């Protein structure tokens, strides 16, 4: 992608009406634009990140047999009354139609999916079943000052599992924990699995908490990794020694990026979701639900991965693999083109800063602000057929030939990089 053609561009100053780091940096770097408080538009760079996060989540959910669906955002009021949440869900957007009908604007989807599941889950042979979606949610949040961390409109992955027994639900709950661990590792987010209240859903739940001053939660945890509780429920004092000898427990501010609940029969009972077991007896279906904030994860990544120059994306979620800064002059133009084509052919995503009017200084500053993990420089000074390679989070750079750049990124066994050619 040529930067000169990209829709959206960097701006010098942070927007005055944003206070959060994520909203300031994502706006300045050309990833998002605010529509109204708590609602954002995603520009090409921003959508690339959202899609990368979504695809990682999708891959990990598919690995544990999740089937992807897409449920309605405009929801039946009667089902919200049936579950008792039409009046008790604080942040529910209620939408009045001009034709004297009211709808819920979906903040979550138990009220849609449980009645729908009734049509297909009849006998023990129909269980277990695992369904998820990645979809826009709406919540009438009281405060929306945290950028994409707390939106009134935001993207969430919500997953629902249906089981014959409580035991099966609990087994699957552990599988989901392992899947969440994979997701957050791939996102480059150190998310701490934390025991928390289950609210009106269940006796307890588990939250995935990322340490940041921008967060609204607080956990008490062992830095050795064997204990973490939300301070809303924890009775353990800060400074207590960890049982395994890891040292004192710490209290820190965090943002919740995911939350999983063993629902048991809470919604099955509300909607009469039953199945016939192998003796022909009717039983309530056991359920679990598992949320993960896609756009919130994006915001959390920015909150924990930036410096005074801009964002530093973890490799798997970066909008491009490489930011190629081309210091324009007539001679180096064909080299830049060659590097771009070779890398692109090898499946490496390159953002090519080909702007004629921008100075080298502006291009370097923008590369740091946008935060793609690897920067390449092609110029007369670097030399014909050579590129300067520098990681966003390092200061040292290296000069290498194009084939060695391919080796640097090679994920395969048969491209034109030095390693593959030697094989
Ligand atoms: P919070 O406690 O932060 O308000 P929640 O417990 O109400 O969130 P859930 O209903 O469990 O959230 O939603 C699942 C996930 O969706 C959360 O873990 C979070 O990552 C994300 N999420 C929830 N509310 C928002 C929001 N307003 N903006 C962005 N993401 C959100
Ligand atoms: Mg929560």
Centroid of ligand 1 to alpha carbon of 256 (angstroms)? 7
Mean pLDDT of 65-79: 98
For residue 414, pLDDT over 90 is answered with no
Q: Which residue among 205, 258, 259, 295 has the greatest number of ligand 1 atoms within 8 angstroms of its CB, and so is best to mutate?
A: 259
257 lines ligand 1 (CB under 6 A): yes
Residue with the nearest Cα to atom 3 of ligand 1?
256
Rounded mean pLDDT of the chain? 95
Q: List pLDDT tens digits, range 194-224.
A: 999 998 889 999 999 999 999 999 999 999 9
For residue 421, pLDDT over 90 is answered with no
Return the structure tokens found at 400: 């290498």
Q: List pLDDT tens digits, range 247-259.
A: 999 999 999 999 9
CB 60 within 8 A of CB 67: no
Identify the pLDDT of residue 251. Answer: 98
The C-alpha atoms of residue 394 and residue 375 are separated, in whole angstroms, by 11
Identify the pLDDT of residue 386. Answer: 92
Q: What band does 281 get if pLDDT is binned at 50, 70 and 90?
A: very high
Residue with the nearest Cα to atom 29 of ligand 1?
150
For residue 420, pLDDT over 90 is answered with no
Tokens 């998820």 -> residue: 132
CB 210 within 8 A of CB 233: no
Q: Which residue among 176, 255, 291 has the greatest number of ligand 1 atoms within 8 angstroms of its CB, and so is best to mutate?
A: 291
Centroid of ligand 1 to alpha carbon of 316 (angstroms)? 23
CB 252 within 8 A of CB 234: no
How many CB atoms lie under 10 A from the CB of residue 342?
Answer: 18
Q: Where are the alpha helices (DSSP H) in 249-332?
A: 266-271, 294-304
Identify the pLDDT of residue 405. Answer: 87
Mean pLDDT of 150-165: 98
Atom of ligand 1 nearest to the CA of 144: 27
Per-chain residues with Cβ under 5 A from ion ligand 2: 259
Q: Does residue 72 sit in helix, strand or coil?
A: coil
Identify the pLDDT of residue 226. Answer: 92
Centroid of ligand 2 to alpha carbon of 159 (angstroms)? 15
H/E run at residue 292: strand 286-293
Atom of ligand 1 nearest to the CA of 150: 28
291 lines ligand 1 (CB under 6 A): yes
Comparing 160-169, 252-261, 298-307, 402-411, which segment has the lowest mean pLDDT?
Answer: 402-411
Q: What band does 119 get if pLDDT is binned at 50, 70 and 90?
A: very high
Mean pLDDT of 297-325: 98
For residue 279, pLDDT over 90 is answered with yes
Centroid of ligand 2 to alpha carbon of 413 (angstroms)? 44
Q: List pLDDT tens digits, range 171-199.
A: 999 999 999 999 999 999 999 999 999 98
Identify the pLDDT of residue 328. Answer: 77
Residue with the nearest Cα to atom 7 of ligand 1?
259
Identify the pLDDT of residue 102. Answer: 98
CB 272 within 8 A of CB 158: no
Return the structure tokens found at 356: 């004629």
Identify the pLDDT of residue 407. Answer: 86
For residue 417, pLDDT over 90 is answered with no
For residue 410, pLDDT over 90 is answered with no
CB 69 within 8 A of CB 187: no
137 lines ligand 1 (CB under 6 A): no
157 lines ligand 1 (CB under 6 A): no
How many CB atoms lie under 10 A from the CB of residue 220?
Answer: 21
For residue 329, pLDDT over 90 is answered with no
Question: DSSP 3-state helix, strand, coil percentages of the chain (rounded to 5)?
Answer: 30, 30, 35
Q: List pLDDT tens digits, range 335-369.
A: 899 999 999 998 999 999 999 999 999 999 999 99
The closest ligand to the CA of 183 turns out to be 1
Centroid of ligand 1 to alpha carbon of 156 (angstroms)? 8
Q: Which residues, in sequence order, are bridge partners of residue 386? A: 401
Q: What band does 110 get if pLDDT is binned at 50, 70 and 90?
A: very high
Identify the pLDDT of residue 412. Answer: 76
256 lines ligand 1 (CB under 6 A): yes
Residue with the nearest Cα to atom 23 of ligand 1?
293
Q: What band does 418 get if pLDDT is binned at 50, 70 and 90?
A: confident
Centroid of ligand 2 to alpha carbon of 369 (angstroms)? 31
Identify the pLDDT of residue 406. Answer: 86
The C-alpha atoms of residue 399 and residue 404 are separated, in whole angstroms, by 10
Q: How much of the chain exceeds pLDDT 70, in percent?
A: 100
Q: What band does 272 get if pLDDT is binned at 50, 70 and 90?
A: very high
HSE-CB at 107 with a 13 A cutoff on CA atoms is 19
Tokens 């502006």 -> residue: 362
Q: Dihedral of the CA atoms 369, 374, 380, 386 (nearest 10)?
A: 180
Residue with the nearest Cα to atom 26 of ligand 1?
150
């Amino acid at each position: 992608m040529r930067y000169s053609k990209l829709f959206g561009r960097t701006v010098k100053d942070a927007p005055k009406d944003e206070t959060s780091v994520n909203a300031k940096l994502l706006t300045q770097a050309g990833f998002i634009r605010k529509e109204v408080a708590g609602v954002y538009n995603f520009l090409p760079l921003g959508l690339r990140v959202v899609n990368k996060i979504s695809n990682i989540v999708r891959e990990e959910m598919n690995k544990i047999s999740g089937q992807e669906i897409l449920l309605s955002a405009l929801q039946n009021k009667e089902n919200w009354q049936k579950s008792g949440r039409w009046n008790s869900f604080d942040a529910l957007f209620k939408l009045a139609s001009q034709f004297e009908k009211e709808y819920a604007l979906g903040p979550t989807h138990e009220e849609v999916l449980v009645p729908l599941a009734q049509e297909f889950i009849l006998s023990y042979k129909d269980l277990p079943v695992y369904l998820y979606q990645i979809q826009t949610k709406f919540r009438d949040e009281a405060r929306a000052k945290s950028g994409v961390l707390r939106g009134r409109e935001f993207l969430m992955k919500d997953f629902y599992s249906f089981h014959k027994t409580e035991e099966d639900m609990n087994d699957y709950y552990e599988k989901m924990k392992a899947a969440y661990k994979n997701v957050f590792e791939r996102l480059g987010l150190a998310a701490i699995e934390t025991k928390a209240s289950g609210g009106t859903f269940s006796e307890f739940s588990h939250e995935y908490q990322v340490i940041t001053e921008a967060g609204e939660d607080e956990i008490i945890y062992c830095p050795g990794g064997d204990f973490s509780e939300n301070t809303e429920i924890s009775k353990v004092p800060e400074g207590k020694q960890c049982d395994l000898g890891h040292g004192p427990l710490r209290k820190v501010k965090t943002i919740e990026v995911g939350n999983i609940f063993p629902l048991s029969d809470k919604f099955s009972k509300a909607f009469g979701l039953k199945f016939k077991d192998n003796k022909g007896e009717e039983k309530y279906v056991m359920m679990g639900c598992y949320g993960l904030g896609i756009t919130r994860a994006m915001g959390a990544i920015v909150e924990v991965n930036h410096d005074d120059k801009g964002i530093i994306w973890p490799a798997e979620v970066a909008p491009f693999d490489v930011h190629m800064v081309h210091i324009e002059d007539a001679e180096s133009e064909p080299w830049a083109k060659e590097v771009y084509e070779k890398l692109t052919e090898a499946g490496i995503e390159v953002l090519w800063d080909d702007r004629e009017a921008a100075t080298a200084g502006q291009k370097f500053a923008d590369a740091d602000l946008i935060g793609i993990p690897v920067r390449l420089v092609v110029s007369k000074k670097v030399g014909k057929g050579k590129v300067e390679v520098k990681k966003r989070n390092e200061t040292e750079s290296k000069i290498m030939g194009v084939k060695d750049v391919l080796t640097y990124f090679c994920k395969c066994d048969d491209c034109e990089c030095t390693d593959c050619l030697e094989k």
